[in-house]
């Protein structure tokens, strides 16, 4: 999934770019502003907007000498577009639910990298730290199988490859206190989708 431009990714056309602009604001916009923000010519925008008005997705209000346009959020298609615009939030919620439903839920699951920074596009991996429960060995077959299942489910959910950095709680605490670039990024940008937050993990007693 392209989480930076989710609507344009699914509606790959000038219409998608126009809709993306209208989804991002509750304000009424004139044709020129919509054209500028979407990168679509005014001529093409002037052809697209009446079609969207006819569908009921967009509302037009005349304010001479111009017209103002806004998305109609109650429209069934608008609801789908608004949900698509928030697809990264939906993926985070589902990642957390999938983690909670594992036979042995992780202590914590933390997304980091481009996905956590809301910069992930269709070519981006979803990078996650998974903190293993203390009672589970890292070579436990059932645990490894459950992680593979979780990874596959998130891949199907998002369409993006999933890279897992698996650590124990003690290792997570040590690394979060260290200065390695990866763990500095996790400490700064990490988004907890399940379990303990970063400060709680960093405070885990080692040894």
Looking at the structure, do residues 91 and 80 belong to the same domain, yes or no?
Answer: no
207 in a domain, yes or no?
A: no
Looking at the structure, do residues 132 and 165 belong to the same domain, yes or no?
Answer: yes
| Strand 66-71 with 191-195, pairing | unpaired
Looking at the structure, do residues 20 and 70 belong to the same domain, yes or no?
Answer: yes
Q: What is the DSSP code string of 165-192?
A: EEEEHHHHHHHHHS--HHHHHHHHH-EE
Q: What's the average model confidence in pLDDT over 22-48?
A: 96
1 in a domain, yes or no?
A: no
Sheet strand arrangement including 162-168: 162-168, 126-132, 108-112, 191-195
Looking at the structure, do residues 103 and 182 belong to the same domain, yes or no?
Answer: yes
How much is the pTM?
A: 0.85
C-beta separation of 162 from 128 below 8 A? yes
Q: pLDDT digits over 177-204, tens only?
A: 999 999 999 999 999 999 999 999 988 6
Of the candidates 69, 28, 24, the residue with the CA atom closest to the CA atom of residue 46: 69
Q: pLDDT digits over 83-127, tens only?
A: 999 999 999 999 999 999 999 999 999 999 999 999 999 999 999
**What 3 state SS string does 55-91 have?**
HCCEEEEEECCEEEEEECCCCHHHHHHHHHHCHHHHH
Instruction: Compute the CA torsion angle 68, 73, 78, 83 (nearest 10 deg).
Output: 130
Looking at the structure, do residues 46 and 100 belong to the same domain, yes or no?
Answer: no
| Whole-number Å distance between alpha carbons of 178 and 184 | 8
| Whole-number Å distance between alpha carbons of 152 and 142 | 15
Q: pLDDT digits over 66-91, tens only?
A: 999 999 999 999 999 999 999 999 99
110 in a domain, yes or no?
A: yes
Looking at the structure, do residues 54 and 101 belong to the same domain, yes or no?
Answer: no
53 in a domain, yes or no?
A: yes
Of the chain, the percentage scoring pLDDT greater than 70 comes to 98
Cα 86 off chain centre by: 7
Looking at the structure, do residues 107 and 183 belong to the same domain, yes or no?
Answer: yes
Looking at the structure, do residues 93 and 166 belong to the same domain, yes or no?
Answer: yes
- Identify the domain containing residue 49 by its residue range: 6-84
User: Would you mind telling me the total number of residues written for the chain in this entry?
Assistant: 207
CATH number where 93 lies: 3.30.460.10
142 in a domain, yes or no?
A: yes
Looking at the structure, do residues 23 and 65 belong to the same domain, yes or no?
Answer: yes
Please give the pLDDT value at position 12: 86
Looking at the structure, do residues 122 and 170 belong to the same domain, yes or no?
Answer: yes
The number of domains in the chain is 2
């Amino acid at each position: 999934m392209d989480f930076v431009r989710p609507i344009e990714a699914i509606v790959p056309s000038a219409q998608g770019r126009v809709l993306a602009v209208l989804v991002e604001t509750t304000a009424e916009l004139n044709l020129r502003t919509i054209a500028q923000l979407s990168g679509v010519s005014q001529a093409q925008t002037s052809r697209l907007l009446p079609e969207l008005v006819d569908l009921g997705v967009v509302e037009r209000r005349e304010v001479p000498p111009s017209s103002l346009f806004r998305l109609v959020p109650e429209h069934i298609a608008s609801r789908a577009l608004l949900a698509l615009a928030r697809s990264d939030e939906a993926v985070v919620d589902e990642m957390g639910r999938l983690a909670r439903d594992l036979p042995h839920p992780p202590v914590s699951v933390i997304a980091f990298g481009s996905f956590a920074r809301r910069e992930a596009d269709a070519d981006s991996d979803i990078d996650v730290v998974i903190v293993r429960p203390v009672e589970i060995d890292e070579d436990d077959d059932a645990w490894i199988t459950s992680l593979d299942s979780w990874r596959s489910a998130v891949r199907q959910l998002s369409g993006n490859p999933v890279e897992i950095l698996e650590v124990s709680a003690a290792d997570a605490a040590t690394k979060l206190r260290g200065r390695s670039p990866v763990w500095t990024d996790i400490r700064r940008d990490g988004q907890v989708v399940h379990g303990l937050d970063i400060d709680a993990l960093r405070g885990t007693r080692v040894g």
